[in-house]
Chains A and B, each alone.
Chain A
Amino acid sequence: MLNTIRRKYGFYIVIVLFWLLMTLLKSAGALSSHFASLLVPMTYYAIAAVALNLCVGILGELSIGHAGFMCIGAFSGAIFSLLTKEALPGALRFFLAFLVGIALAALFGFLIGIPVLRLKGDYLAIVTLAFGEIIKNILQAVYFGVDSKGVHLALDMTDFTLEPDGLTLIKGPQGVSGTPRDSSFTVGIIVLLLALVLVHHLMDSRDGRAIMAIRDNRIAAEATGIHVTRYKMLAFTLSAAIAGAAGVLFSHNVTTMTNITNYFNYNASIMLLVYVVLGGIGNINGSVVAAMILYLLPEMMRGLQRYRMLIYAIVLILMMLFNWSPALVEKRRKAVAWLKNKLPGRGKGVA
């Protein structure tokens, strides 16, 4: 018990120290502008990875559509901010934008969860992928705006005309632009900490234990009286909501969301999955570290230009083989045991 507490709070302290270090370095001008621009994305990818790990690691259902929930959070948050740009002061507006983004992502998570969670394994994964692609596809195709006559929605630019006082919110493939740049590294770290506290707390709670029991053995869990559908829905909705928060940070950082395909298609979902698997399935803190490092890795290799993604791919394959191959895992275990025997003072270790 003491150990888990130390591990949990220790990690919060590490994050706060990381924030302190980066903020100090930034104010001292020691960070290059390129590196400084990576700080906010690092936080939202870490948050999204935590969200996905809740779904994949804690609930035990593979989702390849979490970028879709991020997309919903990003769009709804950005639209809210655009609508209230003049009416509300910055901080309050951003806070409410978070609530809107989280609420809508959660709503979609709930609605999508109803059909999705009836399926199993890879079928569930492919349906989440399908939902993610549908969300992206629709948001990329619609024109959406408001004016004095009400709300306008169209699929074609020619059908889309607003009164002079109108405000275009989504402009088809050009997406949403003019979102205030409210995201900052500090806000990102705060949201990340909140997400971590929430997920850790859930894991230690009765609800969380029920969710993990379903993951480990659904039938046994059901037999002990756990309402499987309810807890699955709870975890999936919460996971979508956290991904939505990451989306709000995203849209208030890039401010102009054009060509969203690159950010929210299945490749983006897969990238989040890579973070989760390399950080450790079910290891929430690991997701944060993996997301930050793996996001930085290709960005820091910009000097290598054309070779950086090639190197990234090779590193990814080698890391997977090294971490997961049964033969290598066995060899590593033996090597560690051998070393323990050889090292003086610890000689009585059992091989």
Chain B
Amino acid sequence: MSFLNYLINGLSLGSVYAIIALGYTMVYGIAKMLNFAHGDIIMVGSYIVYSAMSMAGMHPAIAILIAMVGCMVLGVVTERVAYRPLRGASSSLAVLITAIGVSYLLQNIALLVFGADTKAFTSVINWKGITLFDGELQIRGTTIITIAVGLLVLFGLQAFIHRTKSGQAMLAVAQDRGAATLCGIDVNKTIAITFAIGSSLAAVAGVLFCSTYPTITPYIGSMPGIKAFVAAVFGGIGSIPGAMIGGLTLGVIEILSRTYISSQLSEAIVFAILIVVLLVKPTGLLGKRVMEKV
């Protein structure tokens, strides 16, 4: 029974990774860049919710809404100011390094505004959860809601991409930017929308992450960020169901290996599994194989 408990905790952590990974994978698929600052958007989102709730005493729902809008604006602005000018640069490393610069910048702004000390985050979810099998299986409310939000985001995003015009534009830009431009798609606008969605999802992920692990520091974003990145690659970067599967798998592996193998080595195990998957399937679980042209 405890195994089932760990499994559910793993799915909950995995849902958070999956939501972050969705942002990574969308940006990578459409803008073809590794956005290393994505993890720090999570941190910004958490701080916004923290300030709105603890300092301004707002209702959690309003706080989350503000965080989502705030992160959306932040994502779009960084894209406009720091990433867009580098589109078409002679090396793709240029925008990668700029993203690292943005990551440092966000961390240090947070450090100046909120200080280096750890802040206690009050969970936005007050529901105690459910008890099954005469108390043998206890599932926390946070866990259930995290998993539910994860699924909601996945289906919402799938519907958005396949049913709306902007979503179709995203697919077109991801497939062939030049051809998309010829079809009259505004590439800059499409990429901006991608950043907006990815960043507001990061805010949601931040709130869920901090509800499970209730502390905030200016650096909390980097580790879940890098793990979500791993999850995105694991599932096949650029693929939305892939990001979801990758995130959930990663969360479950992490919790189970932390419990049953070694708590210190859980990260090493996660990365080792990633390596094995990539060696067997070099484009990730659901990634598309790109044929090489001579």
Residue A281 lies at the interface, judged by CB distance under 8 Å to chain B: yes
Q: How far apart sit A321 and B28, CA to CA, in the bound complex (Å)?
A: 20
Q: A317-B82, A317-B102 are in contact. Are A133 and B264 (CB under 8 A)?
A: no
A134-B271, A325-B85 given. 6 additional CB < 8 A pairs? A119-B282, A123-B278, A126-B233, A130-B230, A134-B268, A277-B94
Q: How far apart sit A312 and B88, CA to CA, in the bound complex (Å)?
A: 25
Q: A123-B233, A123-B283 are in contact. Are A324 and B89 (CB under 8 A)?
A: yes
- Closest-by-CB residue of B relative to A317 is B101
Chain A contributes a number of interface residues (CB within 8 A of B) equal to 47
Q: A126-B233, A328-B85 are in contact. Are A155 and B98 (CB under 8 A)?
A: no
Q: How far apart sit A273 and B90, CA to CA, in the bound complex (Å)?
A: 17
Residue contact B89 to A326, C-beta cutoff 8 Å: yes
In A312-351, the 8 Å CB interface with B consists of: 312-314, 316-317, 320-321, 323-328
Residue contact B102 to A270, C-beta cutoff 8 Å: no
Chain B interface size band reads 35 or more
Residue A274 lies at the interface, judged by CB distance under 8 Å to chain B: yes
Q: How far apart sit A306 and B107, CA to CA, in the bound complex (Å)?
A: 12
Residue contact B97 to A313, C-beta cutoff 8 Å: no
A270: chain B residues within 8 A (beta carbon): 36, 100
Shortest distance in angstroms between B247's beta carbon and chain A's nearest beta carbon? Answer: 15
Q: A309-B108, A313-B105 are in contact. Are A119 and B278 (CB under 8 A)?
A: yes
Nearest 7 Cβ contacts at the A-B interface:
A324-B94, A141-B264, A313-B104, A130-B271, A313-B105, A316-B101, A317-B101
Q: How far apart sit A124 and B107, CA to CA, in the bound complex (Å)?
A: 27
User: Chain B contact residues: over half helix, strand or loop, or mixed?
Assistant: helix
Shortest distance in angstroms between A258's beta carbon and chain B's nearest beta carbon? Answer: 15
Name the contact of B105 in the complex, choosing from A62, A317, A324 (C-beta under 8 A).
Answer: A317
User: Chain A contact residues: over half helix, strand or loop, or mixed?
Assistant: helix
Residue contact B82 to A321, C-beta cutoff 8 Å: yes
Residue A278 lies at the interface, judged by CB distance under 8 Å to chain B: yes
Residue contact B86 to A320, C-beta cutoff 8 Å: yes
Residue contact A137 to B264, C-beta cutoff 8 Å: yes
Residue B182 lies at the interface, judged by CB distance under 8 Å to chain A: no
Shortest distance in angstroms between B32's beta carbon and chain A's nearest beta carbon? Answer: 9
Residue contact A306 to B112, C-beta cutoff 8 Å: yes
Q: How far apart sit A138 and B292, CA to CA, in the bound complex (Å)?
A: 37
B185: chain A residues within 8 A (beta carbon): none
Residue contact B230 to A126, C-beta cutoff 8 Å: yes
Q: How far apart sit A306 and B114, CA to CA, in the bound complex (Å)?
A: 12
Q: A130-B230, A310-B112, A320-B98 are in contact. Are A155 and B93 (CB under 8 A)?
A: no
Residue B111 lies at the interface, judged by CB distance under 8 Å to chain A: yes
Residue contact A313 to B101, C-beta cutoff 8 Å: yes
Q: A118-161: contact bitstring with B at CB < 8 Å (1 yes, 0 no)? A: 11101101110111011001101100000000000001000000
Q: How far apart sit A11 and B111, CA to CA, in the bound complex (Å)?
A: 40
Q: How far apart sit A266 and B271, CA to CA, in the bound complex (Å)?
A: 13
Q: A123-B283, A137-B264, A310-B105 are in contact. Are A320 and B229 (CB under 8 A)?
A: no
Shortest distance in angstroms between A91's beta carbon and chain B's nearest beta carbon? Answer: 37
Residue contact A326 to B88, C-beta cutoff 8 Å: yes
Count of A-B contacts judged by CB separation below 8 Å: 131
Q: A115-B279, A122-B34, A126-B233 are in contact. Are A324 and B91 (CB under 8 A)?
A: yes
Q: How far apart sit A338 and B294, CA to CA, in the bound complex (Å)?
A: 41
In B257-284, the 8 Å CB interface with A consists of: 262, 264-265, 267-268, 271-272, 274-275, 278-279, 282-284
Q: A123-B282, A140-B264, A155-B262 are in contact. Are A266 and B101 (CB under 8 A)?
A: no
B94: chain A residues within 8 A (beta carbon): 277, 320, 323-324
Name the contact of B268 in the complex, choosing from A133, A273, A309, A327 (C-beta under 8 A).
Answer: A133
Residue A267 lies at the interface, judged by CB distance under 8 Å to chain B: yes
Q: How far apart sit A309 and B96, CA to CA, in the bound complex (Å)?
A: 19
Q: List 22 A-B contacts (CB under 8 A).
A: A118-B279, A122-B34, A126-B229, A127-B278, A129-B226, A133-B271, A137-B268, A141-B268, A219-B292, A266-B226, A270-B36, A273-B93, A277-B94, A306-B112, A309-B104, A309-B107, A316-B101, A317-B105, A320-B86, A321-B85, A321-B86, A326-B88
In B100-143, the 8 Å CB interface with A consists of: 100-102, 104-105, 107-109, 111-112
Q: How far apart sit A321 and B99, CA to CA, in the bound complex (Å)?
A: 11
A313: chain B residues within 8 A (beta carbon): 101-102, 104-105, 108
Q: A244-278: contact bitstring with B at CB < 8 Å (1 yes, 0 no)? A: 00000000000000000000001100100110011
- Closest-by-CB residue of A relative to B32 is A122
Q: A312-B104, A320-B101, A324-B91 are in contact. Are A130 and B274 (CB under 8 A)?
A: yes
Residue B212 lies at the interface, judged by CB distance under 8 Å to chain A: no
Residue A56 lies at the interface, judged by CB distance under 8 Å to chain B: yes
- Closest-by-CB residue of B relative to A278 is B97
Q: How far apart sit A351 and B271, CA to CA, in the bound complex (Å)?
A: 53
Shortest distance in angstroms between B150's beta carbon and chain A's nearest beta carbon? Answer: 22
- Closest-by-CB residue of B relative to A56 is B93
B34: chain A residues within 8 A (beta carbon): 122, 125
